[in-house]
Amino acid sequence: MKGLSASSSKGDDRETGIEDVESLREKSVLLSGAVLDNRLASVGETKTDSHRAKAKWKLKSVVTLALTVLTSSQAILIVWSKRAGKYEYSVTTANFLVETLKCAISLVALARIWKKEGVTEDNQLSTTLDEVIVYPIPAALYLVKNLLQYYIFAYVDAPGYQILKNLNIISTGVLYRIILKKRLSEIQWAAFILLTAGCTTAQLNSNASEEVGSSAHSLESSQDYSIDLGVMALLSGFAGVYTEAIIKKRPSRNINVQNFWLYIFGMGFNAIAILVQDFDAVMNKGFLHGYSPITVLMIFNHALSGIAVSMVMKYADNIVKVYSTSVAMLLTAVVSVYLFGFHLSLAFFLGTTVVSVAIYLHSAGKMQR
Amino acid sequence: MKGLSASSSKGDDRETGIEDVESLREKSVLLSGAVLDNRLASVGETKTDSHRAKAKWKLKSVVTLALTVLTSSQAILIVWSKRAGKYEYSVTTANFLVETLKCAISLVALARIWKKEGVTEDNQLSTTLDEVIVYPIPAALYLVKNLLQYYIFAYVDAPGYQILKNLNIISTGVLYRIILKKRLSEIQWAAFILLTAGCTTAQLNSNASEEVGSSAHSLESSQDYSIDLGVMALLSGFAGVYTEAIIKKRPSRNINVQNFWLYIFGMGFNAIAILVQDFDAVMNKGFLHGYSPITVLMIFNHALSGIAVSMVMKYADNIVKVYSTSVAMLLTAVVSVYLFGFHLSLAFFLGTTVVSVAIYLHSAGKMQR
């Protein structure tokens, strides 16, 4: 179970996956998004700016919605898997398969584009050292973060971890400002602080799910690890913002090529993680030991939401990603009421209110800028 | 103890009181405020507008600060009195004495002004039916509210009541808009919603004090009384906004005269409350039965913060009052950590963060307007 928790938390940063039927629909949305982007890039100059802005806005909305839905279904899947029983598989092999699946999906999408529009400079797979040299960095950051997380989980319980993970929100905002040099208005900073406070409030003493519940007690027990958690929040925020910087550096480059290179290095670093963490288990019990149908579902879910995160980085930004995953967290709790008969606490309603106001202020702050 | 709780909650609406030494200092601040106002009104035209605006801003700050300090010390006094033991006095007789004391303080302040500046049309005690006819309305509203509160306390526990009392914040905002026809910007409305959510969050599962703690459980048990509580929130919001309307209707009228007439009717209606609720107890055990030094302190505290509320209505408004009493609630909890060794919960920190952002947004929204 510890394995699944770790996997789920990890998923929150590389966001990924969903159920079978849903996944196919989402997949086609994502792929058509990629096609639309390609079309936009190639036709570009002949279109009016307003038409272009509208298409971009539509694309941004679609990928954001996809990310929200995928992230919520991911958390629901975790609750479901917990209910169904415990699975003793290696998290590292699952992560490796997620990266492999993402690579494969990127290649399939590319193949479709090549068939339709031919190989161009923007969608060719071959690359220069100059382009590819930065791609291992986010993969390495995620690896360090995941290993650190594994260590922290030995001391902090899952609910306490979930609450402290909200520090990512603030670190993402700060790094977004520093690294990408994009300004947030004062109102938008206020909204960001509210988002952090609102998400944490919604997770207080929640009976809604074991993932999103916590207590002051679990926080106290984790105070000694606040440096580790701070480092993790920074690492995870840095990885997100860095990925956005890499993807945005070449706006005309096809997202599927960019994803392919990201995920290739992801595979490499996760292979290292298997050697470090689960070498004995894999050798003795096999690569796929402890896998169940639900594990496979979760791998698909993680892969798809990982792609959705990339899309959001390309067409929107890390700020949108943070809002999207926060809304997903709230959605999960609401859906869990119907699916699992969970109970929503007063804290959840208060947190949801604060998060809603934060979303309003974020857009109000944008207009003001 | 039920008596004291009721008295304290009531106090939150007619805000009042503080400890001995402090009270004298505050009192002189309030009286000099009144003198300053008088001077402003009489010299008026000869002063430059910027000088005038600065003096008005200073006066507004002083009365707001006084209200905040008085309200916090009021809550601390209640905790202290609870620690010291239970007092079995009649709440209605205490309320009557609070009104009487406020009347006396207003008369003393008036006497000083008459001595200094002579009797003018604005500071004379005699009045017209047209001016005085609206004064019984807030007093009557508070009486109904207090009686209703007495009834509700039989069913809802104090912590649950404290949480639901935050509904006053919203009802004050709505009535302020409707009755006083003053506009709040969208950002300011967002700030008001945050203030409500933040105060409620800060009071969740708090170990800080019995006044400001609560649980989802106590809320559930009070669901059947949600209509009563809604009516009470409206009554109390209405009483506050109506008082502001009365006081602001005659800007040049001396506040001490306005207070005198308000409190005269307050005495009258509280005399009725004694007859309705505590007639037997007063007849059998005497008017001052169960009074202790701490009861006397609390009566002084309530009287002074009641006057501070009037001052805030005159020189600022109900919105300022709501923010001021919210900050006082948070201050009380922080001070209680040092005074009584209370423990602040994570919910308290989150609530405080949200309230702080709300205060920032309120002023940011003002500039934007």
List, for residues A21-75, the tens digit of each pLDDT value: 333 444 444 444 444 444 444 444 455 778 888 888 898 999 999 999 998 888 7
Task: Please report residues of A whose CB lies closer than 8 A to that of B192.
Answer: none
Neighbours of A53 (CB within 10 A): 11
Structure confidence at residue A241 (pLDDT):
92
Q: Mind listing the pLDDT tens digit for each residue in A91-103?
A: 889 889 999 999 9
Please name the residues in contact with B30: beta carbons below 8 A apart, sequence gap of 6 or more.
B63, B66, B109, B304, B307, B308, B311
Structure confidence at residue A157 (pLDDT):
66
Task: Please report residues of B whose CB lies closer than 8 A to that of A218.
Answer: none
Structure confidence at residue B8 (pLDDT):
38
Report yes or no: B187 at the A interface, CB cutoff 8 Å: yes
Contact: A190, B219; criterion CB under 8 Å: no
Running along chain B, 369 residues long, what does each successive block of 10 average in pLDDT? 37 35 41 45 58 87 92 79 66 90 95 91 86 89 78 67 80 90 90 94 60 40 64 86 92 93 93 88 87 86 92 92 91 86 87 95 77
Structure confidence at residue B190 (pLDDT):
94
More confident residue, B37 or A131: A131
Strand, coil or helix: A186: helix
Mean pLDDT over each residue of chain A, to the nearest integer: 78
Task: Please report residues of A whose CB lies closer than 8 A to that of B358.
Answer: none
So what's the ipTM on this one? 0.75
pLDDT exceeding 70 applies to what percent of chain A? 76
Structure confidence at residue A89 (pLDDT):
77
Report yes or no: A81 at the B interface, CB cutoff 8 Å: no
Structure confidence at residue A86 (pLDDT):
60
- Separation of alpha carbons B83 and B88, rounded Å: 14
- Shortest alpha-carbon distance between residue A84 and chain B (Å): 29
Structure confidence at residue B153 (pLDDT):
65
Contact: B347, A201; criterion CB under 8 Å: yes
Q: What does each C-alpha distance from A298 to A277, A293, B53, B277, B327 come to in angstroms? A: 21, 9, 64, 65, 46
Query: What mean pLDDT is predicted for residues A355-368?
Result: 87
Over A20-48, what HEC string results? HHHHHHHHHHHHHHHHHHHHHHHHHHHCC
Report yes or no: A180 at the B interface, CB cutoff 8 Å: no
- Shortest alpha-carbon distance between residue A190 and chain B (Å): 6
Report yes or no: A344 at the B interface, CB cutoff 8 Å: no
Which of A197, A347, A353 faces B204 most closely, judged by CB atoms? Answer: A347
* HSE-CB of B53 using CA atoms within 13 angstroms: 3
Contact: B201, A350; criterion CB under 8 Å: yes
- Shortest alpha-carbon distance between residue B345 and chain A (Å): 7
User: Mutual orientation of helices A226-249 and A2-14 as an angle, nearest 10°?
Assistant: 40
Which of B163, B357, B364 faces A193 most closely, judged by CB atoms? Answer: B357
- Separation of alpha carbons B348 and B211, rounded Å: 13
Q: How many angstroms separate the most distant Cα atoms in chain A?
A: 61
Query: What mean pLDDT is predicted for residues A322-335?
Result: 90
Report yes or no: A355 at the B interface, CB cutoff 8 Å: no
Please name the residues in contact with A140: beta carbons below 8 A apart, sequence gap of 6 or more.
A265, A269
Over chain B, what HEC string results? CHHHHHHHHHHHHHCCCCCHHHHHHHHHHHHHHHHHHHHHHHHHHHCCHHHHHHHHHHHHHHHHHHHHHHHHHHHHHHHHHHHHCCCCCCHHHHHHHHHHHHHHHHHHHHHHHHHHHCCCCCCCCCCCHHHHCCCHHHHHHHHHHHHHHHHHCCCCCHHHHHHHCCHHHHHHHHHHHHHCCCCCCHHHHHHHHHHHHHHHHHCCCCCCCCCCCCCHHHHHCCHHHHHHHHHHHHHHHHHHHHHHHHHHHCCCCCHHHHHHHHHHHHHHHHHHHHHHHCHHHHHHHCCCCCCCHHHHHHHHHHHHHHHHHHHHHHHCCHHHHHHHHHHHHHHHHHHHHHHHCCCCCHHHHHHHHHHHHHHHHHHHHHHHC
Measuring CA to CA, which residue among B274, B279, B243, B283 is closest to residue B259?
B243
Task: Please report residues of B whose CB lies closer than 8 A to that of A350.
Answer: 197, 200-201, 204
Is the distance from CB of A115 to CB of A244 less than 8 angstroms?
no
Structure confidence at residue B346 (pLDDT):
87
Contact: B216, A368; criterion CB under 8 Å: no
Query: What mean pLDDT is predicted for residues A332-356?
Result: 88
Minimum Cα–Cα distance from A194: chain B residue: B354
CA A44 from centre of chain:
30
Structure confidence at residue B167 (pLDDT):
84
- Separation of alpha carbons B31 and A190, rounded Å: 38
DSSP letter at A290 equals: T
Structure confidence at residue A156 (pLDDT):
66
Torsion angle in degrees (nearest 10) through CA of A16, A135, A246, A237: 60
Is the distance from CB of B211 to CB of B75 less than 8 angstroms?
yes
Is the distance from CB of A236 to CB of A13 less than 8 angstroms?
yes
- Shortest alpha-carbon distance between residue A364 and chain B (Å): 8
Please name the residues in contact with B161: beta carbons below 8 A apart, sequence gap of 6 or more.
B9, B152, B153, B222, B229
Which residue is associated with the tokens 């947190």? Answer: A351
Confidence of residue A193 (pLDDT cuts 50, 70, 90): very high
Query: What mean pLDDT is predicted for residues A104-114?
Result: 94
- Separation of alpha carbons B20 and B12, rounded Å: 20
Structure confidence at residue A262 (pLDDT):
92
* HSE-CB of A4 using CA atoms within 13 angstroms: 26
Is the distance from CB of A302 to CB of A67 less than 8 angstroms?
no
Measuring CA to CA, which residue among B267, B285, B340, B223 is closest to residue B99?
B267
Which residue of A353, A359, A363, A366 is the best one to mutate when testing the B interface, meaning the one whose CB has the most B CBs within 10 A?
A353
The two three-digit tokens of residue A146, written as one number: 């995941």
Q: What does the DSSP assignment read for A44-75?
A: GGGS-HHHHHHHHHHHHHHHHHHHHHHHHHHH
Structure confidence at residue A61 (pLDDT):
92
Q: Mind listing the pLDDT tens digit for each residue in A198-253?
A: 999 998 864 333 333 334 444 444 455 667 777 888 888 899 999 999 999 998 99
Q: Mind listing the pLDDT tens digit for each residue in A5-14?
A: 333 333 333 3
- Shortest alpha-carbon distance between residue A129 and chain B (Å): 47
Which residue of A221, A357, A367 is the best one to mutate when testing the B interface, meaning the one whose CB has the most B CBs within 10 A?
A357
Strand, coil or helix: A182: coil
